[in-house]
Every structure is written in C-alpha cells, then in structure tokens.
A and B are shown apart, each in its own frame.
Chain A
C-alpha cells in the first residue's frame, strides 16, 4: 500500500508547476482579464507541448492514458497560478465522458486538436425554470446554462435527460450569452439553442457517463481550490514575515500565527482527500461518487475559510487590487458555486448513502 504520489506523478506535478509559475505569472493573468487573449492561447500551446491536456485520453487515441489523479495534479497547478484554461471541461470532464462511452471518433477529433469541447452539465444536476434541452430528431432546442470551457471551445458536450450530445459552436441555431462572474480568469456562458444540429455521442451508457463526467468535474474543482488556497496561505505567511507593525514582523504576533496555523491545519488534510477522491474515480468505483462529493463540498468550505483568512492576514492590502490576491479569492469563490454549492452537493451525498429518500 502506498498513499501518496509516485515518482511519475511527482515529476508531472513539478513540470506543470514549474511551467505555470513562469508562464502564468500575475501580470499575464491581469492582461487576460483585461481582454488580451494571448495568455490563454500561450498556455494552451505550452501545456500541449508538455503533453498534459491529453492526460485522460486513452493511449489508443495518442493520449497519456492516465487517471483523474494525474488530471487533479494538473488542475491544482492551474488553480495555484489562477491560470485561464479550459482544462476542467475540455480535457477533464469531456474526455472522461467520451472515454466512458467509448466514442473513439470524437476522442480522435479531440486528440488531433481539431475539436475542443466546452461542457454544459448544470441541468444534469438541477435545472432552473426555463433551462434544459429537448431533442427532437437530430435537432436540439432550449437552454444550457453555465457552460464551462468557452475559452477555446469549438463544440459543446451537452446533456438532455440522460443523453449526451455534441453541438458545433458555429452551427445555425446556437446563440451564446456570455456571463460575467466574479472569477474573470475563466469563461462562463449560457447557450440558447433553437433547432441546432446535435450529434449523439456513441454508446448506450450515457447516464453512467454523465455521472462520471460530473464526478470528475467536481474532483477537479476541488483540486483547483486546493491549489489556489495553498498559494493564498503561502502568500499570507510570506506577507506576514515581511510586513512590520509595532517594530516587528506581524508574523511574530500570535493572533496572526494562529490564523495561519488554522488555515494550514484545515488545508493539509484536504490534499489527502483530493488525492483519494481522484484515485477513487479510477480505482475504487464504489467510493467514486461519494468521495467526489465530499471533496467538492469540503474543499468549498475550507477554501472559503482560507480565502477569507488569508485576505485578512494581508490587512488592507489584501482588499486592494495592487496585490491581486483577489484573483485567488474569486477563483475559490467560483469553484464553490460551479457544479453545485456545498449544501446541494452534500444532500446528493446523503441520498447516495440512502440517508434520505
């Protein structure tokens, strides 16, 4: 038994971490947020060169054939560096869904780079009034809300009932409604479809594929928060050692030390939880659904605590735009809401265990 990362996984973590540390520095993130798309494109190219986007892609399609744990390590690094990337949707959730359905045709198109998939999974979790898609023949109509991965998507992987279908972004009857969220490092949109042409994904296990897609997405969001919160804690500790008041670094005040200790004590076990939840997706099927929900909900709570406390440790500076700490704060805040807030996700976990009808 070995609970931890092996050598290959550590190498993957290091190489992606090192790359993003430089390539996704804050000045570039600010540029992206201000409307310059260069960073997102550069990161996509850079990550492609490292080979990591195809982490979940089966080897037959030229991918790395790795698991959700490796994908979570990449996502953690993206969260650490508040990097704009469609990774969660395009290379995590979508590839997991296609892999589960065994759709080698669409996997091949994704692997060649010809297709990048955005994902609309919100209605599979819970549909607001007026939202949801209906399929009639090969035409799909209705609204898919909170579609992820719109940064680079050429196509969208969407759900109707327990079916999975793909719609081309440029096709007739597809109207995009861009959404503004607190987190400007990632794209969010609604799709209003009217008789758009839909391609059904292969296979007849779409229900299972939807579940695995959402489980994977939630584990990755938890990993993103783990990375972002870890970075916020480090920034808070560094800042407190540097900032002096009453002729001494504020890091020497117990009030400040205890805030940092509480963050660390809550956050460190989250690392093990995320590793296990990610590992379970591929290796412990009976715990996959439960642990993805527990990880998503728990990281949402701890992430919120760290985001708030790390900001407080920075004093007034944490509240300004000068340090840019708020990019992490908002990334963590958005991760909490995407694919269901913690209470909703916990209620699903209770249902899964038969604790409620």
Chain B
C-alpha cells in the first residue's frame, strides 16, 4: 500500500493540468452532450492529438498508440473532472464497437470505420435488446436472410440509445434459425440510412426519450457487413460486453454527487435552520459517505489490479450493482431532504437544479435495470464470484411440476 505517485506520474499529472489550462477555452461546456456539434468535434480533435482521447488505440486508425496504463487513465479522468472540462467523446461506437473491430474485424472494416468513429464523426448505436430478448439476450428474433449479395433484415430492436442520431448500428440478428439458440446469431453492421429502417423515440418515466425502438422492414445490407463468421455473433458480442464491463467511469463522480447533496443541505433552510441541522438527514448523508468511500477505494484497488494485469475478481464484479444502487440512494436522499420542493420538476417555479435529482432518481432506476439487470448481476456475482451453481433448466420450459 503506497498511495504516493512516483515522479513519472506526478509529472504526467502536471502535464495534463498544463494541457487543460492551455486549451480550456476550446472546450465545450461540461454538460454539453450534443452529438457532432462543431465545438465538440474540434475539442475531440485536440484531445486525440494529445492522447486524451483514444489514448491506447493504434495510431494507424487515428488513435494515440500509447501503452495501456490504468493509472494514467485515472489521472486524466481526475484532472478533467477537477478542471470541470468534458473528456473525449464516448458512446457505444468508441467503447464497444471499436475494440470489437480491432479484435475481430476485417482490415477493410477497420480502415473504414475506426478512424471516423474515434473522431466523433461517425455515431453508432447498439442493436442488441428486443422486446422478447432482454436479460435472455440470446433469444433475439430479428432475422437476416441471404438474398443475392445482401442480407435482408426484418424485426425490431428496443432500448436503442442514440438511434435517432446514429449513422450506423452494430446489431445482433438471427441468421441460422435451425441452429441452437446461441449458435444461430450473427453480428452485423447496418447503415441507419438504409430504406426500411424506422426509428421511434421511446418516452420514459423521466419525461425524456433517452431510448428508441428501431423497426426493420426488408432492410438490405451487403453480405460483407458481418463481423466474425455467420453464427458466431454471440461470441463477437460477448467480446464487446467484456469491454462494456471495463468501463468504470470517473472514480470520483459519486463523491462529487455526495458533496453536491451536502451543499444543498447547507444552503436550504426550513424554519430558519439549515437542512444539515437535521440529524436524521445528516446521519443518512454520512451513511452514504461511508459507502461512497468504500466504492472509491474499491475503484483504486481495481486500478492497481489493472496496472498489475491481475484479474479484478469480486471487486470488479460488484461495481455495476453497487455503483448504480449507491447513485440511486443519493438521489433519493437529495429528494427527501428537500421535502415538498423535492417533487418539483421541469421548469417549475422554485425548482432546484432543474429537477436534476428527480431525473437521476428515475433514470438511475433505468440503469439498475439496463446493461444487465440487478438480478442478472447477482447471478453473475454468485456464479462467477462465489462458485455457486446455475439454476437448473426445467426439463421443458413452461412445464408444470407437482
């Protein structure tokens, strides 16, 4: 245990801070989530040139070509967060498709897609979930049938974030209906401008459409649009899911959220007393602070395990489950302490933080469900982490037993 940085990393931190100081005027606002705005694309270009985006991707495809270094990645995240400046463009194209193409794509696919994706010019969406294939993702039914030089696709995807902006989709389709469930799936790249694709926004409980439904009616894509071989899509998709689990985000984000609640509690007054004066609220705040510290330290342990190229084990498996739950509880506390003000929303008079805490509270519930629901996470933790057996499959699905 030694939390001091060696000189190399102290220098690196200074280097990142100096870069941010020099270029901060070029940065879009921290909360600017716009896709392909000029300012964002220009910022991405600067970040790519200095190795603060696509740091470890090969130079040949527009990356910076640095050796993976979890500690440097963490320092970059910390310094950007400290400077309140947005980092590089993220999203499913950069985080999931690019690593998959690097591992399993053809040379032609790598040439064509990786560079514009890293530059933020080509936006992707992920076509995995379907109405009948959520936790049981391998049950996808959207079909692709060969006709001449094309695959012809029919079916429906759901929970497709950014589909309304996306140029391309990486998609799981069933190409071998006769094969076993996991062996009949292929991984295919689809141009979203292809005729027959309809994108419908999916309004959620937050009042925003964070997701979409995507419908395919006789959509024709060229046969060479497949990544990996026919029927190997499940394996290809799992390669990307590994990358998704590798996305840990800003280790201090939860601590910032906690401090924001502490600020609210200091600033807001009822009967002339600050909310922080209320011992019940205060106790809940410190309780969440303990959990937040535990998760932050768990994150630091993961960084070290990653630099040592060691398996993260249980410490890694729990991050999604515990992290989402912690964020949700924080939003709950922020709402509770505000009393009636806590239910104000949208552009209501007197609304605090533009109703952000209610948005968090509802959207975080979506995060608890999405990307592997809490129940699936618990299956993974108990099976892979604790070595407990899988639930036996009923001899015949749906069969009644006495």
Which residues of A are at the interface with B, using a C-beta cutoff of 8 A?
1-6, 9, 69, 237, 240-241, 248-249, 251-254, 256-258, 260-262, 264-266, 268-273, 275-276, 279, 283-284, 291, 294-295, 297-298, 301, 342-343, 346-347, 349-350, 355-356
Contacts and interface: CB of A to CB of B under 8 A. Distances in A.
Contacts of A257: 378-379, 382-383, 386, 388, 391
A347 B282 contact: yes
B315 A1 contact: no
A270 B294 contact: yes
Given A3-B301, A279-B3, A346 B286 contact: yes
A275 B286 CA distance: 19
A351 B2 CA distance: 29
B48 interface: no
A3 B1 contact: yes
**What are the 8 tightest A-B residue pairs by CB atom distance, in nearest-first order?**
A298-B290, A272-B297, A261-B378, A257-B382, A269-B294, A261-B381, A265-B318, A269-B298
B301 A272 contact: yes
Contacts of A3: 1, 3, 297, 300-301, 303-304
A279 B289 contact: no
A264 B318 contact: yes
- Which of A264, A268, A271, A273 has the largest number of chain B CB atoms within 10 A? A268
Contacts of B6: 1
A213 to B, nearest CB: 22
B291 to A, nearest CB: 6
A69 B1 CA distance: 9
Contacts of A256: 388
Given A1-B304, A2-B304, A252-B390, A268 B293 contact: no
B279 A241 contact: no
Contacts of B318: 264-265, 268-269
A254 B376 CA distance: 10
Contact of A265 (B289, B321, B375, B383): B321
Contact of B283 (A69, A266, A346): A346
Interface in B282-338: 282-283, 285-287, 289-291, 293-295, 297-298, 300-301, 303-305, 314-315, 317-318, 321-322
Given A252-B392, A350-B285, 6 more contacts: A2-B3, A3-B303, A252-B388, A265-B321, A272-B301, A346-B282
Contacts of A269: 291, 294-295, 297-298, 315, 318, 322
